[in-house]
Amino acid sequence: MEKEKHEDKYAVASVKAFVERGGKILILRESPKYKGGSHHGRFVMPGGKVNEGEHFLDALRREVKEECGLAVKIYEPFHVDEWRINVPGKPKHIVGTYFRAASLKGAVNLNSDFASYEWIDPKDYKQYDINDAARRAFVTYLKNFKWTK
């Protein structure tokens, strides 16, 4: 009898940033050329996977720097969510923690995974094609933080 192959399946930890600057929030449009992406052409929040042994905050700083070139100061987490993605051949269950973060300095410099970016008034998020988890995070964000222009 052939031994059955067993693979443990676990949710992947992810961190996302609501990067603030001048009363606006940064959103990134995923490039259609991004092979590891699951939201081609849609806007997402900067962030990504937490590597094994990596602290959440270190992962968030690394991901924001890699994706858009910004150094950030990280504040409190404000939203936890989960979603599933189906990158071809690699379906994943993601558990994401959203943090407030402030852009410290510099201009946005996107890596090749992203086609463009916008700084938006958080109250206007419904005007953008933003992925579903980020939409739910915007609802929590607006309930918890007072915004004025």
- DSSP string over the chain: -PPPP-----PEEEEEEEEEETTEEEEEEEPTT-TT-SSTTSEE-SEEEPPTT--HHHHHHHHHHHHH--EEEEEEEEEEEEEEEEETTEEEEEEEEEEEEEEEES-----TTEEEEEEE-GGGGGGS-B-HHHHHHHHHHHHHS----
* CATH code, domain with 41: 3.90.79.10
Q: Is residue 59 part of a domain?
A: yes
pTM of the full predicted structure? 0.85
Residue 123 domain-assigned? yes
Q: Report, as an integer, the average pLDDT of 55-69.
A: 96
- Residue of higher predicted confidence among 52 and 84: 52
CA end-to-end span of the chain, whole Å? Answer: 69
- With cut-offs at 50, 70 and 90, classify the pLDDT of residue 93: confident
> Could you tell me the residue range of the domain that residue 78 belongs to?
19-144
Q: Is residue 1 part of a domain?
A: no
> Which of 12-26, 32-46, 115-129 has the lowest average pLDDT?
32-46
pLDDT at residue number 10: 74
Q: Which residue has the higher pLDDT, 64 or 92?
A: 64
Angstrom distance (rounded) from CA 48 to CA 54:
12
Cβ count near 55 (within 10 Å): 11
Report pLDDT digits (tens) over 4-23. 444 557 788 999 999 999 99
Looking at residue 6, its pLDDT comes to 42
Band (89; pLDDT cuts 50, 70, 90)? low
The number of domains in the chain is 1
Give me the pLDDT at residue 149, please. Answer: 46
Residue 26 domain-assigned (yes or no): yes
Instruction: Please indicate, yes or no, if residue 13 is contained in any of the structural domains.
Output: no
